[in-house]
Structure 1
Amino acid sequence: MILWLEDAFRRFQNKTRFHSYIPNLDWEAMHRTHGMAQLGVHLLQNLNSEETSETQISEPILTRAARIIQNVLNIAENDFSNEVPLTSYGVDSLSAARLSFSLRSVMDVTQLQLLADNSLIDLVNKFSETSQSTIPLINQDENVGRSRESTSMLMDKLVDKFTTNMKHLAPPFHHQHCVLLTGSTGALGCHLLLHFLQREDVQHVYAFNRESTDGLSAAKRQANALECQGLPNNVIESRKLTIVVGDLGAPQFGLASELFLVLRSSVTMIIHNAWKVDFMAPLPDFEPLILGTKHLLDFAINSPRPKLPTFSFISTIGVFQNFNTVSLFAPEEPILDAAIATRSGYVESKWVGERMVQIASELGLNTNVIRVGLLTGSTSGSWDPSHWFPALVQSGSRIGCLPDGNDTISWIPIDTAAAAIIDMQQTMNTTLHLVHSKPTTWHAVLEHVSTMLHVPLVPYAEWYARLKSTAEFATHGAKEGTRRTQALKLLDYFEFGLKPMHGESMGLLPKVASDKGLHASQTLMGDGIECLNASQVQSWVNYWKSVELF
């Protein structure tokens, strides 16, 4: 684009008159690297190249795509295989963004899909009409529909696979509380753990987590996690707490028989909060977590207690990826059509978990599904800088602006959300949405951020264009200055915000009904809850500065 502008300014200064402007570029090289859109095919007609518009049309998609990939990634033809995942050739978030753009002439494939261990064969099979086609793609919408259909079929099969042997159960009796909490070292898990330990009606908490990969003891890892959230870590010394290390996917959770029998005979409440947050992983990568959910449900169903444990599955409002009814809020109900949740393996796996729990409820187990909205930083301001909103905020200091908007947002502080989840244990056999009871606007929050970072607010489309241009410049050698810009890793996600058809925050999150969830929580309905304000925003920014995000 810089070369185009330079050429155009030079012509203008020389008083050159022209009715249509065609930049003086090496179009043959541009075509080899990026592929030529149909609008510009005529520019290749006079070039002495074998890649004319006719050969481009007759050439198989697989061959054309392979050549584009080899050029963009600088791979010798003899070193490239159509069956090897592109990530094996060193594809990262920046090169994936460039490659997604370059492949547009043959297929519509996103940055995330290029990073999901797909080979060229996989890409052609999933995102083009046929790998043997002799013409360019004609209707991408039909292809996307087929891809979404095949994914939703897999999601349905996983639900069937893990619910086939569930049995009908008898009505329950009353009991006291002994909690099994999974994922207690995560941000939400830490706050849930603290709330449970502080309650008089909770006799004991079993904090269940996988074995550490960093060599730390389970107790030390839990203490570090609490400290990171600004919470007192001396609670790990409580007599009410037992830290359990195991594997939900293994028989008896990978625990010694004695401990497993203690859990079976004592647990009265299960909060299944543990899940891998990876928006680039495909659905099959989450099957071990789905298997763990199955084992937890079996654990509850086969409990020897007179009243079976209650079971809460912590999901996300993000499961409404394809809820396109503009005038309605997504309902607090089970989603029976898997296609509504197809976009990334993460939300697809959450939908599978939801359906398993909802089916268990239909068979007699007391369960609920709690779909959580965006959780903001804790009281200390701690907010994982790898999440999308901190990444967006960081971009302001890198590209000199932040996106503005008047969308309604119902983000909720994480400590408030934890208290609400515990309130919701009194409301079973339903699906609940957990969002702020006093929404505010995107502008009200971003106005505080822009003031603190001394950058202006601009329309979302302009902010996204600047961010994307930063990624494109980085592919031409200026990577050092942009390498740590977290938002570049989420270009596909932020592109979704350009289509605010059914969501809040420029379409990044769906609009959801929340009446049932609000009325199931004294915390959310209480007088003490307040809108997000400048003080809270300042605590987030201070935390991000302390971890050198900017």
Structure 2
Amino acid sequence: MTARSGRALTVAAALDPERLQVYYEDRGGIPPLLRSLLVRTTARAPRSWDLRKVLSETAPDQHASIVLRMVRETVAKALGFAVPDDVAVDQPLQDIGIDSLTAVLMRNHLATLTGLTLSANIAMLHPNLKALSQSLLSQLQENWADSSSSASASGGATPATTTLSSPCLNMAAIRKGCLDPSFTFDNVTRGPTTCAARPESVLVTGGTGFVGAFVVHELLEIGIATYCLVRAASIELGRQRMVGALETYGLWKPDYAPLLHPVVGDLTQPLLGLSEEVFDDLADRVDAICHSGALVDWIRPLEDYVGPNIVSTHEVLRLASHGRGKTVHLVSTISTLPKHMGYDLTEEDREYGYGTSKYMAERMLAAARWRGARASSYRLPFVSASSTNGRFRLDRGDFLHNLISGSLELGAFPELNGDLSVVLPVDYLCKSIVGVMTKDVHRIGLDFDFKNKYAPSFNHFFKLFSAASGGKEIVSFSTWQQRALDYAVAHPKSALARITAVFDGYTDETAAAMVTGLPVGQHVFGGDDYPAPAVDEDSVRKYLDCINAAQAGNAIVDGPRVEKSLGGAVEIQEIVPTISNDAVLVECS
């Protein structure tokens, strides 16, 4: 009726003029209906950033926090947060409300503020706001470095304020597995000890993960000072995380305390998330690096692995090229071998992302060796429970552990006509790595694979478990498969429910392929050289005791399904997928 009469209608409405103005300006302009209302808000609009001016007037060590603040305020505007500090910087972007629409708004704001050309899906390329802000800062540094070079070439002056302390990463090259051309390794013979001697101190990444914790234990046990890169709010909290991880796997002794040195950082970031001063100090302290930190998850997209698996290796090699001479030991995976044998993985292959990321890491290692570095990689197979104390991953577990514990719950094991040649206990694998690092130093420079030359069959292994657990059945794979699927449906949080995606497609004839490894390379441990421990009643009993204790104490956390993972290993902290899938971290801390 009001429209027909031509009379104005007064409506009471709660409006946020500033947010409304930003909304329409991002879409090309304010509509006439709202122009008189919103134009008046210009004086009250949020403060604008002159980012280049702000950065040029502040110390380089403040740049990361400044860019993060800018990103936080931008996201707060896009999402309608009243206070930017309410926007969580460590949570996945989707969890704080970023969707396809707000992602575009955020991209528009950030492109204007930084002067960078940004992808429309920038919000989907980074796990959280910290990672996003670091990426923007790296791109700004790269642009300024290019501008600086151009100015120098043309005779122009380069302002000192454009020199940033954090290194500029050439991400296009890093994604291809290329090592920074400035890295040289002529320091291998410098320092109080040479790279040919037993190290007195070692840096370990991924020390709170399953493999990393056992590596740290082996080093501490033989009296080597061990520096552990760990995410934490302080050194003391980092120490607590490390001690807690070792206690979890029954590895901690109070006598280790003087040898354990936490280093608070982030392996996905330039300089491993350290300041220049701390990075340089660390480079002068350690004689070797064991890089076991990585994101391990069989089916994620390659982009998810770039930071934790590829950038981390690049920055570890940066550290190796600085300060005193040091050896590098990369924990890798047998899933890189198809690449080395000439069979390229394609994006359709489920292991493409993880396998390719570890291959890129190995490429960097090979490039470093060619430039003089003393470095080795260790391609881990299936990693099983410790042969000495039976401890296994106390998170969601991996494929093999879920197969065993799930079969115990089901009351039956499957017949598998394969052997355990590529299933090796975590303590043995870590003893072998540390053995090369500290005793057989003449081997450093080679790449190692693992295969148990005298491995028993899976059927024999399951018979040992059956006998130790009160006579569980061993049935044909197809019979077990149907029972397992039925059990998984009835118990969606069970161990078997986590691995249904792996065993569902196999038959009696093809089931052994689930646990069959790939061909190994030239240098292989597990036979006469570094012989693998026997799989016997004692080792099975220790494993079974730990499974029973964990189930009684609810130590194994229920969670989504785990996809099959080949080797590698270890710790990646707070890395969250930017797309939804059923896969989870094999190691997460």
* SS of residue in 2 equivalent to 1:355: helix
Q: Is the 8 A contact 1:397 1:455 kept in 2?
A: yes
Q: Is the 8 A contact 2:239 2:261 kept in 1?
A: no
Q: For 1:412 and 1:208, how far apart are their aligned partners in 2?
A: 26
Q: 1:364 to 1:334 in 2, by over 3 A?
A: farther
Listed as ranges, the matches of 1:239-258 within 5 Å are: 240-258=259-277
Q: Is the 8 A contact 1:498 1:507 kept in 2?
A: no
Instruction: Specify which of 350, 353, 362 is matched with residue 358 of structure 2.
Output: 350
Alignment of 1:362 with 2:370, yes or no, is yes
Q: 1:287 to 1:513 in 2, by over 3 A?
A: closer
**Deviation string for 1:102-147 (max 9, x for gaps)?**
xxxxxxxxxxxxxxx9xxxxxxxxxxxxxxxxxxxxxxxxxxxxxx
Cα drift, residue 172 of structure 1:
3.7
* SS of residue in 2 equivalent to 1:266: coil
Q: Is the 8 A contact 1:396 1:453 kept in 2?
A: no
TM-score by length of 2: 0.56
Q: 1:340 to 1:315 in 2, by over 3 A?
A: farther
Alignment of 1:310 with 2:318, yes or no, is no
Which structure carries more relative contact order (alpha carbon 8 Å, separation 6+)?
2
Alignment-derived partner of residue 482 in structure 1: 491
Q: 1:366 to 1:199 in 2, by over 3 A?
A: same
Q: Is the 8 A contact 1:424 1:520 kept in 2?
A: no
Cα drift, residue 496 of structure 1:
6.2
The size of the alignment, in residue pairs, is 368
Q: Is the 8 A contact 1:210 1:245 kept in 2?
A: yes
Instruction: Specify which of 415, 439, 443 is matched with residue 455 of structure 2.
Output: 439
Q: Is the 8 A contact 1:358 1:369 kept in 2?
A: no
Alignment-derived partner of residue 207 in structure 1: 228
Alignment of 1:448 with 2:459, yes or no, is no
Alignment of 1:180 with 2:189, yes or no, is no
Alignment of 1:191 with 2:214, yes or no, is yes
Listed as ranges, the matches of 1:132-281 within 5 Å are: 159-160=175-176, 162-163=178-179, 165=181, 167=183, 169-170=185-186, 172-173=188-189, 174-175=194-195, 176=197, 177=199, 178-199=201-222, 202=224, 204-211=225-232, 217-238=237-258, 240-281=259-300
Q: Is the 8 A contact 1:334 1:355 kept in 2?
A: no
* SS of residue in 2 equivalent to 1:231: coil
Cα drift, residue 351 of structure 1:
2.2
Alignment of 1:429 with 2:445, yes or no, is yes
Alignment of 1:415 with 2:427, yes or no, is yes
Alignment-derived partner of residue 520 in structure 2: 513
TM-score by length of 1: 0.59
Q: For 1:299 and 1:292, how far apart are their aligned partners in 2?
A: 11
Alignment of 1:458 with 2:475, yes or no, is yes
Alignment-derived partner of residue 380 in structure 1: 389
Q: For 2:450 and 2:415, how far apart are their aligned partners in 1?
A: 25
Q: 1:491 to 1:442 in 2, by over 3 A?
A: same
Q: For 1:531 and 1:409, how far apart are their aligned partners in 2?
A: 11
Structure 1: 5+ residue stretches without partners = 1-86, 89-116, 118-154, 324-332, 475-480
Q: For 1:458 and 1:318, how far apart are their aligned partners in 2?
A: 30
Q: 1:508 to 1:268 in 2, by over 3 A?
A: same
Amino acid at match of 1:407: G
Amino acid at match of 2:537: A
Amino acid at match of 2:454: K
Q: 1:355 to 1:453 in 2, by over 3 A?
A: farther
Q: Is the 8 A contact 1:293 1:353 kept in 2?
A: yes
Cα drift, residue 270 of structure 1:
0.9
Q: 1:236 to 1:199 in 2, by over 3 A?
A: closer
Cα drift, residue 470 of structure 1:
4.2
* SS of residue in 1 equivalent to 2:444: coil
**Deviation string for 1:73-108 (max 9, x for gaps)?**
xxxxxxxxxxxxxx99xxxxxxxxxxxxxxxxxxxx
Q: For 2:450 and 2:533, how far apart are their aligned partners in 1?
A: 15
Amino acid at match of 2:383: L
Cα drift, residue 519 of structure 1:
8.5
Cα drift, residue 347 of structure 1:
2.9
Q: 1:492 to 1:400 in 2, by over 3 A?
A: same
Q: 1:405 to 1:394 in 2, by over 3 A?
A: same
Q: For 2:233 and 2:415, how far apart are their aligned partners in 1?
A: 41
Q: For 2:433 and 2:245, how far apart are their aligned partners in 1?
A: 20
Q: For 1:513 and 1:233, how far apart are their aligned partners in 2?
A: 36
Alignment-derived partner of residue 396 in structure 1: 407
Q: For 1:160 and 1:377, how far apart are their aligned partners in 2?
A: 34
* SS of residue in 2 equivalent to 1:517: strand
Cα drift, residue 319 of structure 1:
3.4
Alignment-derived partner of residue 42 in structure 1: none
Q: Is the 8 A contact 2:449 2:521 kept in 1?
A: yes
Instruction: Specify which of 538, 541, 558 is matched with residue 538 of structure 1.
Output: 541
* SS of residue in 1 equivalent to 2:345: helix
Q: 1:257 to 1:172 in 2, by over 3 A?
A: closer
**Deviation string for 1:419-455 (max 9, x for gaps)?**
1001233223332103335322111211122231532
Instruction: Specify which of 500, 510, 514 is matched with residue 491 of structure 1.
Output: 500
Q: For 1:521 and 1:298, how far apart are their aligned partners in 2?
A: 36
* SS of residue in 1 equivalent to 2:391: coil
Q: For 1:249 and 1:162, how far apart are their aligned partners in 2?
A: 16
Q: 1:234 to 1:444 in 2, by over 3 A?
A: same
Q: For 2:218 and 2:477, how far apart are their aligned partners in 1?
A: 38
* SS of residue in 2 equivalent to 1:359: helix
Alignment-derived partner of residue 313 in structure 2: 293
Cα drift, residue 158 of structure 1:
5.3
Alignment-derived partner of residue 37 in structure 2: none
**Deviation string for 1:231-282 (max 9, x for gaps)?**
13424412x3211110123343233444322211122211100112333432
Cα drift, residue 161 of structure 1:
5.7
Q: Is the 8 A contact 1:435 1:514 kept in 2?
A: no
Q: Is the 8 A contact 2:453 2:527 kept in 1?
A: no
RMSD across aligned positions (CA): 3.5
Q: Is the 8 A contact 1:432 1:517 kept in 2?
A: yes
Q: For 1:498 and 1:209, how far apart are their aligned partners in 2?
A: 43
Q: 1:435 to 1:224 in 2, by over 3 A?
A: farther
Q: For 1:422 and 1:230, how far apart are their aligned partners in 2?
A: 19
Amino acid at match of 2:459: H
Q: Is the 8 A contact 2:452 2:527 kept in 1?
A: no
Q: 1:355 to 1:286 in 2, by over 3 A?
A: same
